Amino acid sequence: MNHFTKSFDYFKSLLEAGTPFALARFGDGELSILRGEKIRNHEFQYDGERGFMAKIVEAICYQHPDYFVGIGCPCCIGQKDFEWMRDVSCQPTCQLTYNNIFVNSNYKRFMAEIVPILEQKNAIFTGPEEGRQKLPYQFGIEVNQNAWRFAEEYLLELVDLILNESRPRIFLFSAGPLSEYLIHRAHIVAPEHTYIDIGSTLDPLLFGHPTRGYHTEGSPTSNKICYWG
């Protein structure tokens, strides 16, 4: 799915039809983890722990017709890193998409077209505690900073939540690199549900202010149409 707008349309159509799928998005943080590099920023820290790196490798390499892997595009991370992520994933081309499929120039459409679907279908949100009070979704699991350190505990909690659902649901994740691990493992357990890494798309609602450039209309990234190559 190498067209930025048409790829967005595809995932929107799946949500509208109630067709289950999983979308795990591997951004800059996941790229560093895949390479065993340490991460130090205001959102999370990763010390190169090999066990979690193995989990992220498994998540990007997991293959299923309903499991989609978002990787960095050449215009955002450069051709070399794009090819590296593509090759490491070993995914068929049809299962690869943009890791920023819901942001940049697609962000306005995400808020106007995808968010109402998620509200209508009563999606379940896993992410920061702020989501419990500020998002119009059922709250699933509260995750803290550096939640990846407790990946197994969070997975057990998620599986318990999933197995208590009597009908297919949409699960949203905003938990940094932990999201990819949870989406991968949850899809193995119960592929009848939909699992989406929504990343920072809802941050302005969660925290009351933009946390990314694309949140602000008129910024360079808010108008950026990404490309594949």
pLDDT tens string, the chain, 229 residues long: the values are 679 999 999 999 999 999 999 999 999 999 999 999 988 877 778 888 899 999 999 999 999 999 999 999 999 999 999 999 999 999 999 999 999 999 999 999 999 999 999 999 999 999 999 888 889 899 999 998 888 899 999 999 999 999 999 899 999 999 999 999 999 999 999 999 999 999 999 999 999 999 999 999 989 999 999 998 6
Vertex 81: Cα angle to 13 and 215 (nearest 5):
50
Per-residue pLDDT, 1: 66
Four-CA torsion 93, 159, 11, 87, nearest 10 degrees: -20
pLDDT per position as a tens digit, 81-130? 999 999 999 999 999 999 999 999 999 999 999 999 999 999 999 999 98
In this prediction, residue 52 carries a pLDDT of 95
End-to-end C-alpha distance for the chain, whole angstroms: 11
Residues 126, 173: contact at Cβ < 8 Å? yes
* Residues 6 or more apart in contact with residue 28 via CB below 8 angstroms: 72, 77
Sign of torsion over alpha carbons 7, 75, 199, 59: positive
Residue whose C-alpha is closest to residue 105's, from 203, 7, 15, 190: 7
Question: How many helices (H) and strands (E) would you count in the chain?
Answer: 11, 9
pLDDT score, position 229: 62
pLDDT of residue 101: 97
Confidence (pLDDT) at 143: 94
Rg (CA), the chain: 16
Q: Which long-range contacts (CB under 8 A, 24 or more apart) does 9-17 make?
A: 11/68, 11/97, 11/101, 11/114, 12/113, 12/114, 12/117, 14/194, 15/114, 15/117, 15/118, 15/121, 15/170, 15/194, 16/117
Q: Could you give the angle at which helices 151-163 and 178-189 cross, rounded to 10 degrees?
A: 40
